[in-house]
Structure 1
Amino acid sequence: MNQVRIILDWVEGAETSVALPTYQTAGAAGADVRANLPDGAVELVPGARALVPTGLRMEIPPGYEVQVRPRSGLALKHGLMLVNSPGTIDSDYRGPLGVIVLNAGDAAFTVTHGMRIAQLVVAPVVQGQFVMGEINETERGAGGFGSTGQG
């Protein structure tokens, strides 16, 4: 499996005993990232959202991004979602990494210090060159949502 070096640093005030992003299995595409809440927890009532700090900032090599994605177990069991999923961390961003968590479930949920709240996926980036020109037609044409039928 290919590896890309992502350099991490703690933000000021972070609890440095929290585990760094970790792949849970050898074949995992995403590394779990944890909440860094040294002063307590974040309670999310149904419908509420919050920016949960990870205590980290990172240096991503040019030509790559880090995508922030939800953890499927939290989504299934508790209705937790990431509002802007997948979120993108650009290679030139050096600020703190926070995760926007939304409780779409029917019960309150508490995000606790050290809890695995999202996963990080490192991905290559290709930038497009956007130019004006004549667009070729296709069989589908301008057909949008549901235009190709059901099932």
Structure 2
Amino acid sequence: MNFKKVTGYDYVNLPKRQTEHSAGYDIESAEDISIQPFETLLIKTGVKCEIPEGKWLGLYMRSSISLKRNLVMTNSVGVIDKDYYNNEDNEGHIHIMVTNLSDKVQTVKQGERIAQCILQSYYLASNDNAIGKRVGGFGSTSKTTEG
């Protein structure tokens, strides 16, 4: 796994583990952003990730953000596929989809650790025959070309 900065985000810190036994790499917000009560937004991270064959990157909200601020990752787990990296739509820019479940505006500051990502393995079914190639970015698994 290899984290890199998205073009134009030179000021961003790459994800890192905080302790030697941490499974997750903390990932920060690349922007100051205010989320209205019950609003859902995509938070930019300024980071992309080159993922090895047979792996995927799981994104999870940091528990302290959920507990203290009532912000949750809308889709519970973000799935970053290997072919999301350097896609033609958005260069593989990782975003965190967040919903504010509180009755107050919540502001996330640039550089605030908001989520964590964990590299994970997956397996294929014996009759798998996927040959399409990704042609888009966020939410684009269904946008493919024949292989």
TM norm structure 2: 0.77
1:23 Cα shift? Answer: 0.9
| 1:126 corresponds to | 123
1:128 Cα shift? Answer: 2.6
**Correspondence for 1:54 among 45, 61, 64:** 45
Secondary structure at 2:21 match in 1: coil
The CA deviation string for residues 90-115 of structure 1, in whole angstroms up to 9 with x for no partner, is: 11111111111111123211011111
How many pairs align?
A: 122
| 1:107 corresponds to | 104
Higher CA-based Rg: 1
TM norm structure 1: 0.75
CA distance in 1, matches of 2:119, 2:39: 28
CA distance in 1, matches of 2:103, 2:126: 44
State whether residues 73 and 98 of structure 2, in contact with CA within 8 Å, keep that contact through their aligned partners in structure 1.
Answer: yes
Secondary structure at 2:84 match in 1: coil
Q: Is 2:20 the counterpart of 1:26?
A: yes
1:9 Cα shift? Answer: 2.3
| 2:143 corresponds to | none
| 2:77 corresponds to | 86
Q: Per residue, is there more strand in 1 or in 2?
A: 2
| 2:66 corresponds to | 75
Secondary structure at 1:92 match in 2: helix
CA distance in 2, matches of 1:78, 1:130: 45
1:60 Cα shift? Answer: 0.1
1:129 Cα shift? Answer: 4.0
1:21 Cα shift? Answer: 0.6
CA distance in 2, matches of 1:124, 1:59: 14
Q: How high is the sequence identity, in percent, across the aligned residues?
A: 34
**Correspondence for 2:56 among 65, 68, 76:** 65
